[in-house]
Amino acid sequence: MASAAFIVKLFKFIVLYFYLTNRSFMFQISIQSRKTETMSLKVKAICLQFMLIGSFLLFWLCGCAQESFPQVDQLLNDNQKNLGYNFIAMVWKDGKMIYVKQMEKQIGDFNAKTQVPIGSCSQWMTAALVMTFVDEGKLSLDDKVSKYIPIFAKYMKSYITIRNCLTNTTGIQADPVGPMKLLQKNKYQTLEDEVNSFASKREIAANPGTEVYYSHVGPNIAGRVLEVISKKSYDRLMQERIIRPLKMRATTFADENGGAVNPYGGGQSTANDYMNFLIMLLNKGEFQGKRILSEKSVEEIETAQFPQLPVKSAPKGSEAFPNGLGTTIEHGNVVCNLNLSGTWPYIDKCRNYAAIIMVKSPDEPKKEIYDKFKRAIDSGLGGACPN
């Protein structure tokens, strides 16, 4: 989306262009003063150019107009330091971007096309990838993992389901995760090796489906199941089924260090790209006229799973809310991912909009800032919805 500053610069460039063109034209008049017919044609051509450019600018300015959110502007201005100085906030509603706020410590540091680690926002995409297999009848959320990876039955973990994997309820022992842990090199060379180690080397800390423990274990098991079913690598599946159809051209799950792919937290993306993913979900599985997920699958992702379970580990600020599939469900109508790297995407189903705050540098999530951001957006939009 073009900013107002960019449009002003463009307009200045066009004015300069026509100034120089006019000077050249006046010089031609002095040489060809007797060729009145030629001059007449040139005048008409230049007038036509002005009309076309003017119409184009008017159309562009109208199309780029944003709604006014002064409270949001003030909030983000006041919290530049808390958000690491380099961040972008975007809001999409009714088929257009209605708000964009970009902050850079230095010009060129960060924008909507800058690729950054998205941490646990990756697992929301993993859940969507799993649901493409559900839509095709190749998988059920209540299938046992051991059906596809027999080593889980060998080590007394045969009751874990795909649904458990996407809701952090596998019961498998896991270490707490944090923003820096997401950036550590994976010691495993393949997802197969890592998941087999979950089965053979980790204890069951709780029965599956009895408590929530936020970790990378479940989503990575789910990703490996997809590899087994399809006989394709996880990152290739993500490219074919989610990334390319959504035109997320700057998004990847490939591990730059040559380690195992990480379905839970290994994605890298941009604000523009991830917004495309949110738009697809907001549109009940469609993106630019193409169906990516069934409406039923989107509904399943956004439905609270195991809402009564005790929470043993979760990102700060999300402990009181139930999980969807790869997501958190707040107040029944807000689907979000309170990512440990500081980026925060969400969808408000009641007010029918999607938003994201993306930060350049991984840091602890600032839940209080995010909540204030959402309240300010909601206040600007109006309407009666639960908070």
The 10s digit of each residue's pLDDT in 106-153 is: 777 799 999 999 999 999 999 999 999 999 999 999 999 999 999 999
> Parallel, antiparallel, or unpaired for β 87-93 and 353-359?
antiparallel
Rounded CA-CA distance 379/132 in Å is 36
Contact by Cβ (8 Å): 210, 170: no
Mean pLDDT, residues 302-324 = 89
pLDDT for 184 equals: 57
Which of the pair, 210 or 108, is modelled with greater confidence?
210
Compute the mean pLDDT over every residue in the chain, rounded to the nearest whole number: 84
* pLDDT tens digits, one per residue of 26-80: 444 444 444 444 444 444 445 445 444 544 443 443 344 456 799 999 999 999 9
Q: What is the DSSP string of 320-358?
A: TS-B-SSSEEETTTEEE---TTS-EEEEETTTTEEEEEE
Query: Whole-angstrom Cα distance, residue 192 to residue 187?
Result: 12
Q: How far apart are CA 291 and CA 281, in angstroms?
A: 10
Distance CA 154, CA 78 (A): 55
* pLDDT for residue 11 is more than 60: no
Q: Which residue has the higher pLDDT, 25 or 202?
A: 202
pTM of the model: 0.82
pLDDT at 4 over 70: no
* pLDDT tens profile 70-113: 999 999 999 998 888 899 999 999 999 999 999 887 777 799 99
CATH of domain 116-381: 3.40.710.10
Residue 167 clears pLDDT 60, i.e. is over it:
yes
Q: For residue 15, what pLDDT is reported?
A: 47
